[in-house]
């Protein structure tokens, strides 16, 4: 039977965290073809310089363009912070959606009180000040408080269970950020949505938690109504052996273990 493909969306990340973005898009656009590229041979991007991250982002984007993608999603906050504009320029006229702008826009819409906006992210994303710039455009004068949370990624990838260790790490990062009461909290790393329920349990009731994966998916849902039904294909590719990331993939997107490919960027 002929299967109509309404759009082919290319998603790239420095590793496996962007699989949360893939899963969110797939849930909303079952008819879209999704191609995921995880640059696991060079992960993490967070400790690298801006010029290097920009070059890596351009290489990932070009590979996805060469595969025939119609829309690119930068599912890495650090790559989105340092490389989004370069990717948009290089890949024009293809649309490019980055997690930083999508997350900031969602936070601005959800911030109904006058409290500060909290941003939890990697060191690289915090250092880039990308969320600060984006939020200052939509919420001028609002206090923005950022916190690098380097232990969250290994806890997610190791599948660390709820308990005293995870609670202690969350409290360590957040205990001094909750007064005055925040208006919203942005999960500024695509690994962090895995911890969303654990975070919510230790945050003030009713605090808006902004998942940039969901923000990106909602944006694409509005753009591609014809892909809201159907049976699109999903392909996962990595620049290192997928078996090396098996545990992390199993935690974040178990369906991705079947048929993942290793590719080489030119």
DSSP 253: -
The answer to whether residues 71 and 10 touch, using CB atoms and an 8 Å cutoff, is: yes
Look up the CATH architecture of domain 100-212.
3-Layer(aba) Sandwich (3.40)
pLDDT at 6 over 80: no
Q: What are the extents of the domains in the chain?
A: 8-98+215-262, 100-212
- Distances from the Cα of 213 to the Cαs of 56, 57, 80, 103, 266, in angstroms? 21, 18, 13, 8, 28
Among 2-16, 44-58, 222-236, the range scoring the smallest mean pLDDT is 2-16
d(C-alpha 96, C-alpha 111), whole Å: 25
Residue 39 phi/psi, 5-degree rounding, is: -85, 60
Stretch 227-232: mean pLDDT, rounded?
94
pLDDT (tens digit per residue) in 230-249: 999 999 999 999 998 888 88
189 tagged catalytic: yes
For strand 117-121 and strand 96-98, is the pairing parallel, antiparallel, or unpaired? unpaired
**Using one digit for the tens of pLDDT, what is the confidence trace for 64-87?**
999 999 999 999 999 999 999 999
pLDDT of residue 191: 93
pLDDT the model gives residue 5:
55
Q: Which CATH architecture has domain 8-98+215-262?
A: 3-Layer(aba) Sandwich (3.40)
Q: What is the DSSP string of 14-62?
A: SSSTTHHHHHHHHHH-TTSEEEEEE-TTS---TTS-HHHHHHHHHHHHH
Which is the catalytic residue, given 91, 149, 189, 237? 189
Six token digits for residue 144? 């923005």
* 60 is known as an active-site residue: no
Residues 6+ apart with CB under 8 A from 128: 50, 78, 81, 82
Grade residue 3 by pLDDT with cuts at 50, 70 and 90.
Answer: very low
Task: Tell me the per-residue pLDDT of 45-62, one tens digit each, with 9 for 90 and over.
Answer: 988 899 999 999 999 999
Angle at 29 between CA 28 and CA 30, to 5 degrees: 110
Shortest CA distance to 98 belongs to which of 121, 74, 78, 81?
Answer: 74
Looking at 60, 69, 76, 149, which residue is catalytic?
76
Half-sphere exposure of 130 (CA within 13 A, CB side): 30
Query: What digits encode the pLDDT tens for the residues 120-175?
Result: 999 999 999 999 999 999 999 999 999 999 999 999 988 887 788 999 999 999 99
Give dist(CA 169, CA 152) in Å, integer.
Answer: 8
């Amino acid at each position: 039977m002929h299967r109509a493909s309404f759009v082919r969306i290319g998603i790239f990340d420095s590793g496996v965290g962007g699989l949360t973005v893939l899963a969110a898009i797939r849930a909303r656009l079952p008819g879209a073809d999704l191609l995921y590229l995880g640059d696991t041979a060079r992960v993490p991007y967070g400790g690298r310089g801006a010029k290097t991250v920009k070059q890596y982002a351009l290489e990932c984007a070009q590979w996805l363009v060469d595969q025939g993608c119609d829309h690119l999603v930068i599912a890495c906050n650090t790559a989105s912070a340092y490389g989004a504009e370069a990717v948009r320029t290089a890949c024009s006229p293809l649309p490019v959606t980055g997690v930083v702008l999508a997350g900031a826009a969602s936070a601005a819409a959800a911030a109904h009180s006058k409290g500060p906006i909290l941003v939890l992210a990697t060191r690289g994303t915090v250092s880039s000040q990308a969320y600060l710039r984006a939020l200052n455009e939509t919420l001028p004068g609002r206090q923005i408080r950022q916190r690098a949370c380097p232990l969250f990624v290994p806890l997610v990838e190791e599948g660390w269970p709820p308990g005293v260790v995870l609670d202690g790490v969350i409290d360590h990062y957040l205990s001094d950020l909750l007064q005055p009461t925040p208006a919203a909290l942005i999960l500024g790393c695509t690994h962090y949505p895995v911890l969303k329920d654990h975070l919510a349990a230790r945050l003030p009731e009713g605090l808006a938690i902004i998942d940039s994966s969901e923000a990106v998916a909602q944006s694409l849902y509005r753009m591609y109504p014809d892909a809201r039904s159907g049976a699109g294909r999903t392909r996962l590719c990595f620049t290192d052996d997928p078996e090396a990331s098996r545990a992390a993939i199993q935690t974040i997107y178990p369906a991705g273990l079947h048929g993942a490919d290793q590719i080489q960027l030119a």
